[in-house]
Amino acid sequence: MATIRPDWAESSALMKDYYDHLWGFPVHDDRFLFEMLSLELFQAGLSWEIIWKRRNAFERAFDHFDIDQVAAYSQKDVERLMADEGIIRNQLKIKAVINNARVVKQLAAGGQSFDDYVWSFVDHQVQRYELKPGEALPAQTILSREISRKMKKDGFKFVGPTIIYSYLTAVGLVNARC
């Protein structure tokens, strides 16, 4: 049986591979959850394909999204990242990633993994979003707005409801696969 993909996943071999092997599959690894949140916030205003093409550069630049290392970044690291032509050089986004690593570390210091924090929003159960034939994914939902508000309250940056909905579907909290 042929894989049915949304239009965005048919746009290139890279996007097909991403859809077929990563997008929408439930993730429970703190590092990968942090990486995906970071990449999603870099996507704001851009296409996912642009970000995904630069994934290796982002991983290299951000020490493979090691939460402890990123949380320890200083202004010197911000300057290093701003000079890195392989990534999106947006200072607000770079500082948001560093801030978010620090928030994840605070969660861990309080005894909560990032995995548990994220999955608690859906009561640790994958949510199913049924698309009608030809229907595109919404930019945001009631759930993504609620999670966005809570994450902002908890100190996360660059986590608006559109970014969060994209994140929820990417890491499998919301199953919107065709």
Structural domain includes residue 109: yes
Taking each helix axis as running N to C, give the angle between helix 75-82 and helix 91-109, from 0 to 180 degrees, rounded to the nearest 10: 140
Q: Domain with 50 in it: what CATH number?
A: 1.10.340.30
Residue 1 in domain = no
What domain range includes position 137? 7-175
Asked whether residue 80 is domain-assigned, the answer is yes
Q: What global pTM score does this model have?
A: 0.94
| Active-site residue set | 18, 40, 48
Integer Cα distance of 172 and 178 in angstroms? 13
Is 116 within a domain?
yes
How far apart CA 25 and CA 42 sit, in angstroms, is 21
pLDDT of residue 133: 67
Structural domain total, the chain: 1
Q: How many angstroms separate the CA atoms of 55 and 74, rounded?
A: 22
Give CA separation, 61 vs 69, 80, 104, 172, 176, in Å: 11, 9, 19, 26, 31
Going residue by residue through the chain (178 aa), what tens digit of pLDDT does each one get?
667 888 889 999 999 999 999 999 999 999 999 999 999 999 999 999 999 999 999 999 999 999 999 999 999 999 999 999 999 999 999 999 999 999 999 999 999 999 999 999 999 999 988 777 667 778 899 999 999 999 999 999 999 999 999 999 999 999 987 6
Position 2 in a domain: no
Is 135 part of a structural domain of the chain?
yes
- Is 87 part of a structural domain of the chain? yes
Residue 32 within a domain: yes
